[in-house]
Amino acid sequence: MSDNDNIEKVNKNVLKHVDTNVWEIPTTYQPNMRVPGRLFLSDTLLGSLEVGAMKQVANVATLPGIQKYSMAMPDVHYGYGFPIGGVAAFDEDEGVISPGGVGFDINCGVRLLRTNLTQEDMMPHGSKHDLIEKLFHNVPSGVGSKSNYRASNSELADVFKHGVRWAVENGFGVEADIEHCEGGGCIEAADPTKVSERAYKRGRPQIGTLGSGNHFLEIQVIDKVYDEAAAKAFGLCEGMVTVMVHCGSRGAGHQICDDNIGILRKAAVKYGIDLVDKQLACAPIQSKEAQDYFAAMSAAANYAWANRQMITHWVRETFESHFSMDADELGMDLVYDVAHNVAKREEHVIDGIRKNVYVHRKGATRAFPPGHSDVPSAYRDVGQPVIIPGSMGTASYVLHGTQAAMELTFGSACHGAGRALSRKKADHQFDGNELVANLEKQGITIRGTNPHSLAEEAPEAYKSSSDVVNVVHDCGIAKKVVRMRPIAVAKG
């Protein structure tokens, strides 16, 4: 694939226009496609889609055991191997699993906490600058930051095995938090013995840290309600102050992905899988290599859930101390926690038959429908909350999953907004300190460590999250419930 593929935009004449906002890459587009590609895009978003991203969707369609379509969510963009914003499901017996379909930051994900506060309620307790400063201090972030928690190797093994449950049982949060995580914040297949020593070395000092780049901790206000009944079921209402945490599995996850890409590159050759792109390295799901990867990936996912849970606990403690009220009085419940880089073994109906498939979501969020057993009982009439973080200084959304998502996208939706400008270009174009000053004028306080990192996260460096969210809403994959605007952000 040439470097130009990263820049040149798609000519829509190669696509079939299947429905409003739904485009198909026919199997004739390139050799060896087993299924068509399906792109969920508005005309505007299609206009900015890179040829390379489309080719990657088509490449994924060549993998053995892929079911129905190789899909791209509205925030799709060029990745490596699989595109970012890609969804692909593989038959458990005939299909493959691929680390490239999950990403390096395994279980990069996001969670939302509600509160009983409004912005007016916050004022008598000092400025939001004080509060974000305390959060910035209490939740370690940025490159080289170390956790406030000293974990031993055997504790880390428990983190890898039990995810959120480990955190709750060790004093970080409450039992109710577990039910409000996707899959109970734990993938049972996790095996800490499949995690390398390197990953342990990287994971130990970082458990309970936010990271850097596009990860953040944000105080928000719900400024629009689209669905009153769903908002009520989720415990949300207009004017409510919320807190969002966006981060992943840190160095441990990156290492686990890297370890396994090397192994699966060799496995693909061993099992005679012809790869159109080496970054699609994969192995048959039932092979040892694939199961070992899935066990290690699950461990990384559990680490990320424990990580976000620890951070939640410190956020609650910070609010308790700042407002001199306990977390119960503050109503700081976990609304929900979703992963957006993960592979899950799920049951789906395909051509009328119930099948177990491994759904790869890289830059995509699970969006399960009303009635599904993994949706918390309080939300089961509405559907699973789908939390979509905006880029720095822009709106975030909560949506809910639908039956249409199960039929169209293996119960998946978008995850945010892709980059429009490279980090390098953004750092060139924007001055971090000026950006902070401008956002402050708009009522958004940014507390970061590094002007370059802030410049790279300029709102203009990203595509519009509202465009992306509107497409999933219009396609019926996930329906808008509320919108939040940021009032203060802590970044590494």
Active-site residues, by number, are 415
Q: Per rule CB under 8 A, is residue 246 in the interface with other proteins?
A: no
| Rounded-to-5 percentages of helix, strand, coil across the chain | 40, 25, 35
Pick between residue 233 and residue 364 the one whose CB is nearest to other proteins.
364
Q: Which residue has the tokens 């609650």?
A: 316
Residue 353 CB, shortest distance to other proteins, in Å, is 36
Q: Contacting other proteins (CB under 8 A), which of 420, 438, 466, 476?
A: 420
235: left (phi over 0), alpha (psi -120 to 50) or beta: left
Where does this chain touch other proteins (CB under 8 A) — which range of 80-88, 116-124, 169-177, 386-394? 80-88
Shortest separation between residue 207's beta carbon and other proteins, angstroms: 14
- Using rule CB under 8 A, residue 44 touches other proteins: no
Distance of alpha carbon 13 from the chain centroid: 32
Other CB atoms within 10 A of residue 403 CB: 15
- Asked if residue 80 binds other proteins (CB under 8 A), the reply is yes
Alpha carbon 187 to its chain centroid, in Å, reads 16
Q: Which stretch binds other proteins (CB under 8 A): 88-96, 141-149, 178-186, 315-323?
A: 141-149
- Give 152's DSSP letter: -
Choose between 34 and 201: whose C-beta lies nearer to other proteins: 201
Q: Is the separation of the CB atoms in 172 and 311 below 8 Å?
A: no
Rounded (5°) CA angle 265-250-40: 70
Q: How far is the CB of 452 from other proteins (least distance, A)?
A: 4
Which H or E run contains 452?
Answer: helix 451-456
Distance of CA 21 to the CA centre of its chain: 22
CB of 41 to other proteins, least distance (A): 17
Q: Residue 428, Cα to own-chain centre: how many angstroms?
A: 27
Q: Could you tell me where the DSSP H helices lie in 335-421? A: 403-409
User: Do 340 and 270 meet the contact criterion of CB atoms below 8 Å apart?
Assistant: no
Q: Measured from the CB of residue 252, what is the shortest distance to other proteins in angstroms?
A: 10
Q: Does 50 bind other proteins (CB under 8 A)?
A: yes
At 399, which amino acid appears?
L
The pattern of x and - marking residues 255 through 294 that bind other proteins according to CB under 8 A reads x-xx--xx--x------------xx-x-------------
Nearer to other proteins, 84 or 343 (CB): 84
Note whether 254 binds other proteins by CB under 8 A: yes
Point out which residues bind other proteins (CB under 8 A).
1, 3, 6-7, 50, 77-81, 84, 104-105, 142-144, 198, 201-202, 205, 211-213, 251, 254-255, 257-258, 261-262, 265, 278-279, 281, 418-425, 427, 449-450, 452-453, 456
